[in-house]
Amino acid sequence: MQKQDVARLFTTPVDAPAYAPTRYRFTNREYLNIYYRTDPEALRRLVPEPLAITDPVVRFEIMRMPDVTGLGDYTEAGQLVSVEHEGEAGEFHLAMYVDSVPAISSGREYSAYPKKGGSPSLYVDSDTLVGTLDHGTLRVATATMGYKHHAMDLDEARAEICSPNFMIKTVPDYDGSLRVCDLVRTQVTDVTVKSAFTGPARLELFAHVMAPLSDLPVVEIVSASHIVTDLTLNPVKPVYDYLAA
């Protein structure tokens, strides 16, 4: 392999890349979203400046992704916090738990998604939509929602999916310091909502040191949605450089 070829590598290993060099298109991406109010002091300890907390609302999501270009079939779960940046409302990605190594690698390297290993699932149990998340052998979250109780306005569903997302992008240097430490922004713009429903919901979180979702306790369920979409992810863009600051 010549020097110029090394400089053009997308990722490693050089003979079997950890993920595909493609823009990811999701077909029939299925969401279970549960919005809940939590302890504002707990949020302030986790949400980084310059993001501001306007309402102590968290979204617990489970996403079933059966058809993704380059990545195949996998499931994710995570927590997002309602925030504001320079007057723009959005969500801060706190953590994502994923059952696919290529999806974890690409999400962290190519973008800035805070992904780590986990075992989420999303399925229908009789008249109930059920989402669970396990870390190792232990259950850390159980979400339930009444299955397709009320049709949801498609524009409202699209607004949920297209909310601006903020994340922290870090790249360590060889001496252990940080080479990159940015607040980044992305937003889904190419989305087709195929189905959207709302209904009653419950969420139970269990304490776990390596998957601390319960550190943001459920005080009140605000709303829930079950949405099926096709969409394409957009690249992230830096909006704040912590090292320069």
| Start-to-end CA span in the chain (Å) | 40
Can you say whether residue 86 is alpha, beta or left, with left for phi > 0 and alpha for psi between -120 and 50 degrees?
A: left
Catalytic residue status for 115: yes
Question: Would you say 120 and 140 are in contact if contact means Cβ atoms under 8 Å apart?
Answer: no
Catalytic residue of the set 3, 115, 169, 194? 115
- Token pair, residue 220, equals 């009140």
Concatenated DSSP letters of 31-88? EEEEEEE--HHHHHTTSPTT-B-SS-EEEEEEEEEEEETTTEEEEEEEEEEEEEETTE
Question: Would you say 228 and 28 are in contact if contact means Cβ atoms under 8 Å apart?
Answer: yes
Can you say whether residue 126 is alpha, beta or left, with left for phi > 0 and alpha for psi between -120 and 50 degrees?
A: left
Q: What amino acid positions are annotated as catalytic residues?
A: 115
